[in-house]
Structure 1
Amino acid sequence: MLLCPVNSSTLVSVLFLLLPQAALARWACVRACPSSCTCTQERSCSVLCDRSALAELPKEFPCEASSINVDKNRLKFLSERAFGTLPSLRSLSLDHNNISFITPGAFKGLPNLVDLKMAHNEYISYLHTRTFTGLKKLVRVDMSDCNLFNIPDRIFLEQISLREVRCFQNHFRRIPGAFRDMVNLTHIYLEKNKIEAVAYNSLLGLSNLRYLNLEDNRINVIHDQSFQDLLRLENFYLNDNLLSVLPQDTFKGLSRLKMLNLGGNLLTNVSKTWFSDLVELEVLYLDRNRLLTIEEGSFENLTSLITLHLNSNNLTALPFPVFQPVYFLGRLYLFKNPWECGCSLEWLKEWMESYQLVRNIPCASPSSVAGLDLGEVVFGRANGSCVEPPELNATAASTAAPSTTENRFNSLIARLLQQELQDGTGNGTEGFRNETLLDPEEALLSAAARGQGVRSGPSHIYLLVAGILLGLSGRTEIGFHVFGT
């Protein structure tokens, strides 16, 4: 058992009398520093033993130590009272070691410890109910990226001051019952586990919880009233799970919620009952789902909403009544949806132009505007009503769009025929003159069939080039016919 070293020699007594308190604390911190560590005394005594290839803990630490860092070593085992008695210790970090077993009572003797980190210890797969015995003032504990499958329900029985628990990237299949009724908890990190469901009693009694992260799990079921006690929750991550349906009153009572992330799930519709109580919600993620419809009135109570993510879904339409009550929306993300850019989205185009709050809405249909951004679509009016864009945009496209390969070919053939008219004589010339009144393609074929205008020299080369262009335009037979001349 390690204890703070006590030295009652005359020298120490003299030092206590002669040295200022700050200098005395600095001297005591450095004097008792383990040989493999570095100790500094600025505002308090800090012991740095990280990256020291330690297989065992030092035999003693300075009694005045307020923080100890033993990160990135080779520790495998913590015995009972592993750190002795350190009444001033407030922060202890054991991240990135090889710890596989923590003896019950290993942290006894650290009555004022506030912050305990033991993340990234891949061999920790089990914790005893009495692992944290003696840590009555513990506020934050980090057990992330270990190999835990569960933690005992009563493991935090003494930790009445605990506010933050980090357990992300473990193997939990359910939310640990150890969190229930911990009224002082404000932050729970459970992302990247294997949680499959949220039961009605999983989060009971967490009346002061502000932050809950359940992202990147396997949650496919949320029981009714599972979040009923989370009345002060402000940030809630449920993204990247397997949710396809939600209870009608899933978020009922969460009136202080500021951010809700439901992205990356399997939702196909948005119910108007989900968000009815979220009057303070500022950011809502519904991206990367399979949304087909949004019920009218779904956002009508979101009077504080600033940012809404609806990108990467299967939405084709967005009726104006869905958004009409959302007065303070500042950012709306709608890209990567198969939008049908008809009159039902005319309001959205006008809104885009007026407020510049949304952009990048590529149209998937109708075919006349497919590939255009909604901002480029032209809507006409007839008798005061919107005219669907197909004809109008098709006309605009035909006048403004660049020539196709076939158009370019026809233009070239017309020029070639005109040249033949100028250079040719006799019946052959007359034949060409008559055929220029026909489709250039037909005229060329007719002339070639009779042998007219097909002479050695530049004209013959022109015909070969024309044949190539015909082939490129997809008219293979015609191209080969010309080459055959």
Structure 2
Amino acid sequence: MFFLVIFIFNCAAKAGLSLNISDSCPSMCKCAPEEVIHCNRAGLRALPGEIAASTVSLNLSNNYLRILTTNTFRNLTFLHSLWLDGNNLTFLSPGTFHALSKLRELDLSRNSRLTYLHANTFRGLLNLISLDLSHCNIFEIHPLLFSHLPSLERLNLASNNMRYVPQAFSNLSSLTRLSLESNHIEAIGRDSLKDLESLYDLNLRKNRIWIIQNGAFTRLLRLGVLNLGHNFIADLPNQLFNGLIQLKTMHLEANRITDIDCTFRLLLNLRNLYLNNNQISSISDSAFSYLNKLHFLHLSKNNLSSLPLRLFVELPKLKYVFLSHNPWKCDCKMFWFLRWTAMFRGALEGLDCSFPNRHNTTALGGPQPGDPMDCTAPPELESKDKCGAAGISVAPGPPAPTSEVFLLVAICHTWYFARRWDTSAHPIC
């Protein structure tokens, strides 16, 4: 039997046949027995001719490839994954990938000379699931560019030079993740995203967005994560996020927002809300009404001096609240918050605030206007609610504190703040 095998091998060799993938492995590449070829960082300026037709995965990252033609991959019909990131690609001929009907993952990122893609660039990629075009220099996308990708689920267009949302998403009915981060987009139109009904994760972070038309998100009924952080958004109209009934995480940090009214009222599944690093000075009483699943709230680095009385009344799931770096004014308007924190069982950070105690007020010669010791007749707390006209029911707030309670807090403030309001820390408190 041994001699028979040797005889067959010698005959195959004389006939020029290959019995091992390593026989078709380019010398500058590394090949695995599972038909995976790694030619990354190999100094390639053209595709090696020795690549086996049975190759399933081909890594050509970080080389010097410039132009791909219709013949470049014509024999690699079994490819499932193709990495072309970090090359010098300047042009992709129409139909470059037409023979790769089994391809599922294509990475073209970090090709800084790639500025434009022909409408037929991706023709033939009927089973492509993931496409990465990030960190290129694309400034315009043909409306039909993605029309040949019915199976696409993940599309990365981050860090390009686009100034508007491409009108090229009409056939991407399977798309679940889309990143347009770090472009130069200034506006989101009413119809910009209307065809992305399966989208779950939309990343528009680090653009120049300052205009969002009402209705822009109406069709995104499955969206779970929306990132609008680090933009120029100043206004949040009450109907802005209508349609986002499944939204779980909202990023609006590092914008120019000054007040919060009823914008979030219909986000019934919202769990995480990032509003930090804005210019918020006013929040409506009913701003977070109906957010029964809200778990995490970030309001640090704003211009808040107080919070409305009913703000946290309807947030039974709230566990994490961040409030640091705000100019808090600890007077009668904020006394309700002290009482609320005594019952709050989650993590609260950043309220750099302490009420004057009895010794301090004595040293000052008596109660000062706005101090708790001056709250013997609690004032009507000013309501900032602007949602009443929109049909929002306002839950009753906690009862107004009595003068005795204010006096008790004046005595115990040291224990409350030094020990994070642990009421068991002092027998009187």
Return the letter of the residue paired with 1:312: K
Q: Are 2:79 and 1:89 aligned?
A: yes
Q: What corresponds to 1:219 in structure 2? A: 209
**TM-score under structure 2 length normalisation:** 0.79
- The separation in 2 between residues aligned to 1:258 and 1:251, in whole angstroms, is 13
- Give the counterpart of 1:39 among 31, 34, 37: 31
- The separation in 2 between residues aligned to 1:220 and 1:317, in whole angstroms, is 27
Alignment of 1:437-448 (within 5 A): none
Higher relative contact order, chain-length normalized (CA < 8 Å, sep 6+): 2
Change in CA separation of 1:339 and 1:126 when aligned onto 2, cut-off 3 Å: same
- The separation in 2 between residues aligned to 1:321 and 1:48, in whole angstroms, is 60
Aligned pair count reads: 365
Larger relative helix fraction: 1
- The separation in 2 between residues aligned to 1:149 and 1:238, in whole angstroms, is 21
Alignment of 1:414-433 (within 5 A): none
- Give the counterpart of 1:295 among 284, 289, 297: 284
Residue pair 1:107, 1:132 contacting (<8 A) in 2 also: yes
Q: What corresponds to 2:51 in structure 1? A: 61
Secondary structure in 2 aligned to 1:322? Answer: coil
The one-character-per-residue Cα deviations of 1:349-394 (angstroms, maximum 9, x if unpaired) are: 233343252122113999979xxxxxxxx955758237879x969x
Residue pair 2:37, 2:58 contacting (<8 A) in 1 also: yes
Return the letter of the residue paired with 2:295: I
Identity score, percent: 34
Residue pair 1:110, 1:134 contacting (<8 A) in 2 also: yes
The one-character-per-residue Cα deviations of 1:194-243 (angstroms, maximum 9, x if unpaired) are: 00000011001211100000010000000110111100000000011001
**Post-superposition offset of 1:297:** 0.9
Secondary structure in 2 aligned to 1:316? Answer: coil
Q: What corresponds to 1:172 in structure 2? A: 162
Structure whose CA Rg is larger: 1
Unpaired segments ≥5 residues, structure 2: 1-6, 362-370, 378-401, 415-429
Instruction: Calculate the aligned-residue CA RMSD, in Å.
Output: 2.7
Q: What corresponds to 1:433 in structure 2? A: none
**Post-superposition offset of 1:173:** 0.5
- The separation in 2 between residues aligned to 1:364 and 1:146, in whole angstroms, is 52
The one-character-per-residue Cα deviations of 1:153-211 (angstroms, maximum 9, x if unpaired) are: 10111111111110100011111111135211111000000000000110012111000
Alignment of 1:110-189 (within 5 A): 110-189=100-179
**Post-superposition offset of 1:11:** 4.7
Secondary structure in 1 aligned to 2:340? Answer: helix
Change in CA separation of 1:289 and 1:386 when aligned onto 2, cut-off 3 Å: farther
Residue pair 2:147, 2:170 contacting (<8 A) in 1 also: no
- The separation in 2 between residues aligned to 1:265 and 1:386, in whole angstroms, is 43
Q: What corresponds to 2:267 in structure 1? A: 278
- The separation in 2 between residues aligned to 1:190 and 1:79, in whole angstroms, is 28
Unpaired segments ≥5 residues, structure 1: 1-9, 16-23, 370-377, 397-485
- The separation in 1 between residues aligned to 2:280 and 2:326, in whole angstroms, is 9
- The separation in 2 between residues aligned to 1:379 and 1:309, in whole angstroms, is 27
**Post-superposition offset of 1:108:** 2.2
The one-character-per-residue Cα deviations of 1:50-103 (angstroms, maximum 9, x if unpaired) are: 011111111242122111001111111112231222222100001111111111
Secondary structure in 2 aligned to 1:174? Answer: coil
- The separation in 1 between residues aligned to 2:66 and 2:286, in whole angstroms, is 57
Change in CA separation of 1:11 and 1:317 when aligned onto 2, cut-off 3 Å: same
Residue pair 1:199, 1:222 contacting (<8 A) in 2 also: yes
Q: What corresponds to 1:340 in structure 2? A: 329
- The separation in 2 between residues aligned to 1:285 and 1:262, in whole angstroms, is 6
Return the letter of the residue paired with 1:216: K
Residue pair 1:28, 1:64 contacting (<8 A) in 2 also: no
- Give the counterpart of 1:230 among 207, 220, 236: 220
Change in CA separation of 1:11 and 1:284 when aligned onto 2, cut-off 3 Å: same
Q: Are 2:341 and 1:352 aligned?
A: yes
- The separation in 2 between residues aligned to 1:87 and 1:315, in whole angstroms, is 61
- Give the counterpart of 1:321 among 310, 315, 319: 310
Q: What corresponds to 2:368 in structure 1? A: none
Q: Are 2:88 and 1:98 aligned?
A: yes
Secondary structure in 1 aligned to 2:349? Answer: coil
- The separation in 2 between residues aligned to 1:174 and 1:322, in whole angstroms, is 37
- The separation in 2 between residues aligned to 1:103 and 1:331, in whole angstroms, is 52
Q: What corresponds to 2:364 in structure 1? A: none
- Give the counterpart of 2:255 among 258, 265, 281: 265
Q: What corresponds to 2:396 in structure 1? A: none
**Post-superposition offset of 1:149:** 0.2
Return the letter of the residue paired with 1:329: L
Secondary structure in 1 aligned to 2:348? Answer: coil
Q: What corresponds to 2:3 in structure 1? A: none
Return the letter of the residue paired with 2:31: C
Q: Are 2:21 and 1:29 aligned?
A: yes
Greater displacement, 74-83 / 167-176? 74-83
Return the letter of the residue paired with 1:311: S
The one-character-per-residue Cα deviations of 1:100-158 (angstroms, maximum 9, x if unpaired) are: 11111111221100100010010001111111111111111000000000110101111
Residue pair 1:129, 1:152 contacting (<8 A) in 2 also: yes
Q: What corresponds to 1:385 in structure 2? A: 403
Moved over 3 A (4+): 10-15, 363-369, 378-383, 386-389
Q: Are 2:236 and 1:246 aligned?
A: yes
- The separation in 1 between residues aligned to 2:89 and 2:96, in whole angstroms, is 12
